[in-house]
Amino acid sequence: MKVLTRREVLFLTTTKIGQLKVGDTLNQYVMIKQSYRGLAGNGKPYLTLILCDESGEIETKVWDSADTDKYATKKIVHASGEVMDYRGRTQLKLKQISIIEGETDIAPYVRSAPVPKSELETGIRSHIEAIGHTGMRELVTALVDRNAEAYFTYPAAVRHHHAVYSGLAFHVLSMLKLAGTMCDLYPQLNRDLLVSGVVLHDLAKVIELSDAITPEYTLEGKLLGHLSLMASEIEVVARELATDREVVTLLQHLVLSHHGKPEWGSANAPQLPEAEMLFFIDNIDARMNMFEKAFEGVEPGAFTERVMALDNRAFYKPKL
């Protein structure tokens, strides 16, 4: 397809991706967030692209092409087409897609957490500073400081929940608020331990994922995963700080068990009340974020698309 400059592209729509419904048309500048190859039933190659702007993302196909270099992540393109329903999910049926040469500013196309990065960092650090156990506070502080730039900018996931710029920090701060409420309600919980577990539970996502804008799984992420990576990080820094061994073991257990069950990715099931609570509040916040994303653009009285990460269910938006 012809390579265009910005000035050559006319008649752009003002509709953002997050506002699109089935039957709508898109004619807009967007960014390629993900690009991967596939093979059609007839043996011909194709590309699946995830196109995004600051409001959301949509999947599309480029047929008879396997050129992931041309349609690489972080490239800005002009895309036009019609939004259609494909097996219960919205998809863009491409009419045209053209690379915009010389466009390197991707910031306008990146969806971010609804809270500024500076506020997220201030909020999380205030919770860390309130940890009463000196050794635990020093260990958590050191781990965050070593990864601060990535920790406060990375998403919490590639697709399913909080998959936006600073999504990880937004997820953690929301969980810290839940943790505070739970500790008030259930005083038998050790607040220092639960707060520390919340701050650290997903910190190794900054190793598991490649970058803050168009994340993909790194080799370490694929082979080891963020739970085992974080347990190792805790061990390394704890040795440098001569942290009490029980503190180290407890924090490693919270990290390694926070997916709940081995079949869900945990090394072990939770064996501490704080580990059990960490699993629950992590699950609550992740699922509520997936609900929020699923309901975007859905009119009252209608159902969402099926959400694979929520047991492939569709959800009704009440008219209330």
Residue ranges of the chain with per-residue pLDDT less than 50:
1-4, 7-10
The answer to whether 179 and 194 have CB atoms below 8 angstroms apart is: yes
Query: What are the domain boundaries of the chain?
Result: 6-109, 117-293
Residue range 6-109 in CATH 2.40.50.140: yes
User: Residue 18 has what pLDDT?
Assistant: 85
Which residues, in sequence order, are CB contacts of 49 under 8 Å at separation 6+?
32, 34, 35, 59, 60, 61, 62, 71, 97
Q: What is the pLDDT of residue 50?
A: 93
Give the tens place of pLDDT for each residue, 13-30.
667 888 888 899 999 999
Q: Tell me which amino acid residue 112 is.
A: S
Q: What does the pLDDT read at residue 68?
A: 78
Nearest to 155 by CA among 208, 222, 229: 208
Report pLDDT for 10.
47
Q: Give the DSSP per-residue string, 183-215.
A: HHH-TTS-HHHHHHHHHHTTTTHHHHBS-SSS-
Of 61, 3, 54, 53, the C-alpha closest to 36 is 61
Is 117-293 CATH 1.10.3210? yes
Q: How far is CA 307 from the centre of its chain?
A: 15
- The residue among 10, 50, 13, 8 whose CA lies nearest residue 28 is 13
Partnered with residue 208 across adjacent β-strands are none
For residue 157, give every residue at least 6 positions away whose Cβ sits within 8 Å of its Cβ, in sequence order, or none.
Answer: 163, 167, 205
